[in-house]
Amino acid sequence: MIKTDDLDDQDIVERVVLGQKDLFRILVQRHQRGIYSLGMGFFRHPEDAADFTQDVFLKTFKSLPTFRGQARFSTWLFRIAYNTAINGIQRRKEFHSLAEDAEIPDTDTPERRAIRQAVRDSVGKALGELPERYRVCVDLYFFYDQTYAEIGVVTGLPINTIKSHVFRAKKILREKLRDTMEGGIG
Amino acid sequence: MTCERATELIDQYGGETSVPPLVRIRLAFHLAHCRTCAEEAVRMERVYRFLRTDYISEAPDLRSAIMDKINIPGEAENPVGEPVSLRNWVLVGMIVFFSLLLSSVGLEFSAPGILLRSNLLLPITLTLGFGVTIYGGVFIASHMDDFSERFGLGPREL
Quote the ipTM score. 0.71
Residue B19 touches chain A, beta carbons under 8 Å: no
Partner-chain contact B66 A28, CB within 8 Å: yes
Residue B67 touches chain A, beta carbons under 8 Å: yes
Query: What pLDDT is attached to residue B80?
Result: 47
SS3 annotation, chain B: CCHHHHHHHHHHHCCCCCCCHHHHHHHHHHHHHCHHHHHHHHHHHHHHHHHHHHCCCCCCCCHHHHHHHHHCCCCCCCCCCCCCCHHHHHHHHHHHHHHHHHHCCCHHHHHHHHHHCCCCHHHHHHHHHHHHHHHHHHHHHHCHHHHHHHCCCCCCCC
Nearest CA in chain B to A32: B59
Query: What pLDDT is attached to residue A3?
Result: 65
A53 Cβ neighbours under 8 A, 6+ residues apart? A32, A35, A36, A39, B59, B62, B66
Query: What pLDDT is attached to residue A185?
Result: 46
Partner-chain contact A58 B76, CB within 8 Å: yes
Position B104 pLDDT exceeds 70: no
The per-residue pLDDT of chain B, averaged, comes to 75
Partner-chain contact B57 A98, CB within 8 Å: yes
Partner-chain contact B66 A62, CB within 8 Å: no
Measured between alpha carbons, how far apart are the two ends of chain B, in Å? 83
- CA B83-B87-B93 angle, 5° bins: 90
Partner-chain contact A119 B67, CB within 8 Å: no
pLDDT per residue over A79-128, tens digit each?
Answer: 899 888 887 755 555 677 776 666 666 666 777 777 777 777 777 776 77
CB pairs under 8 A between A and B: 116
Across residues B81-99, what is the average pLDDT? 72
Partner-chain contact B80 A65, CB within 8 Å: yes
Query: What pLDDT is attached to residue B150?
Result: 67
For residue B54, the chain A residues in CB contact (below 8 A) are: 112
Is pLDDT larger for residue A26 or for residue A177? A26
**Long-range pairs of B77-83 with CB within 8 A, sequence gap ≥ 24:** B77/A62, B78/A62, B78/A63, B78/A64, B78/A65, B79/A62, B80/A62, B80/A63, B80/A65, B80/A66, B81/A65, B83/B142, B83/B143, B83/B146
Measured between alpha carbons, how far apart are the two ends of chain A, in Å? 41
User: How does residue A186 score in pLDDT terms, banded at 50, 70 and 90?
Assistant: very low
Computed from CA positions of residues B15, B16, B19, B23, in that sequence, does the dihedral angle turn out positive or negative?
negative
Residue B40 touches chain A, beta carbons under 8 Å: yes
Nearest CA in chain A to B8: A171
pLDDT per residue over A126-150, tens digit each?
Answer: 677 777 777 788 888 888 888 888 8
Question: How far is the alpha carbon of B102 from chain A, nearest alpha carbon, in Å?
Answer: 40
User: How does residue B76 score in pLDDT terms, banded at 50, 70 and 90?
Assistant: low
User: How does residue A2 score in pLDDT terms, banded at 50, 70 and 90?
Assistant: low
Query: What pLDDT is attached to residue A20?
Result: 84
Q: Compare CB distances from A167 to B7, B12, B78 and report the shortest one's residue.
A: B12
Please name the amino acid found at residue B140: I
Query: What pLDDT is attached to residue A184?
Result: 45
Query: What pLDDT is attached to residue A181?
Result: 59
Partner-chain contact B57 A62, CB within 8 Å: no
pLDDT per residue over B119-152, tens digit each?
Answer: 767 777 788 788 888 888 887 777 776 666 666 6
